[in-house]
Structure 1
């Protein structure tokens, strides 16, 4: 098993990317990453010793990155994806042919994505937000490029856009929600929605969820749920999932501009 493709490894590296100072949480994350090959048979006492801290601090770190316990963290070793999107590229005939093959494959993927997007739903959303002025878009490190693209495209059309990290403190989230006319949430697994449904129920303004997971049971929370479940193979890698998110944001922006 390639543990460097596991869900826990991705979460740890995302946390390390966001670190701006070398504190105990940085040290814990660094040692967990360095010892990823020992998962799931790794002991909390070992990480605490290497990080010059206590098991209690390691447990707090695990909760900080979204796990209920050290055990849940060390056993989250399922592989995010086993598909390598470059596998279909012929690299035996030289660089030029390999690049041409990649471009052709990329164009086919892009056409496939746009053909599967729900244009009617996207148009409804465009009409709903047309006269609004301020929007918030929530994501995490994984979806930051989509959040940033949303800000870029919609700012060009006169909207004030709040880019918000889903892991921000509750008071920051509350302030951001209160400032805007509508909120877009990018959560492909919808784990964040599961954990924050009571919080979301407190806001009486349009909420839109972009997700791959079937979250129909939360339909009362959202004005629209943008389902990406039709992109089964497209969401098998970070490369594909980013293209799906970007394509939907581009389509919404185009529909606003056309109308």
Structure 2
């Protein structure tokens, strides 16, 4: 019987090792799998390469992972926001590497890895420092840059609903990078708020098929002081 449910986030990430490349879903805080990031910190794994849309907000989630000194390199599109003080301090001190990737290129590099594509040409970045050292060629009268796929050892993503086979759907903008990251990693770990029986998710509503998910962890919603819930979107 296929059952990908794992009892805790800690157990789901017990095999993350030093130097692993880890994709973390989320667009800012929308769809960021905070419980998995906290568990990743708890593993003690160091020298991690992190792929994410940005470089952390405030003091929680990805920012906490950076603050713990566990990240050697980050590959992202938006490393600096008003509250990205942990990344800013680490970068200025020369304690973290940055690979800056335009957001469309980042998404397509991740998607290419999941689709088994060896690379793609794009005009984005041509003539800028982002194209230095990369192959370029003229295609249909436009100069283009070769971008390579981004693979990962682990993808940590946040979904809304899932079953024991790993079929997932998402809540609104929490969907963002999760589906393509799930396809690009050797091991995908997903948290879900609503763990349902097989068949309860309409097949037409499945966004990420269980084929691309290895571990599922159910987590509670976080109550706010007003008695409501914090949502990821």
TM-score tier, shorter chain, comes to 0.3 to 0.5
Q: Which has the higher contact order (CA 8 A, sep 6+)?
A: 2
Question: Higher strand proportion, which one?
Answer: 2
Is the radius of gyration larger for structure 1 or structure 2?
A: 1
- Structure whose residues are more often helix by fraction: 1
| Structure 2 length-normalised TM | 0.35
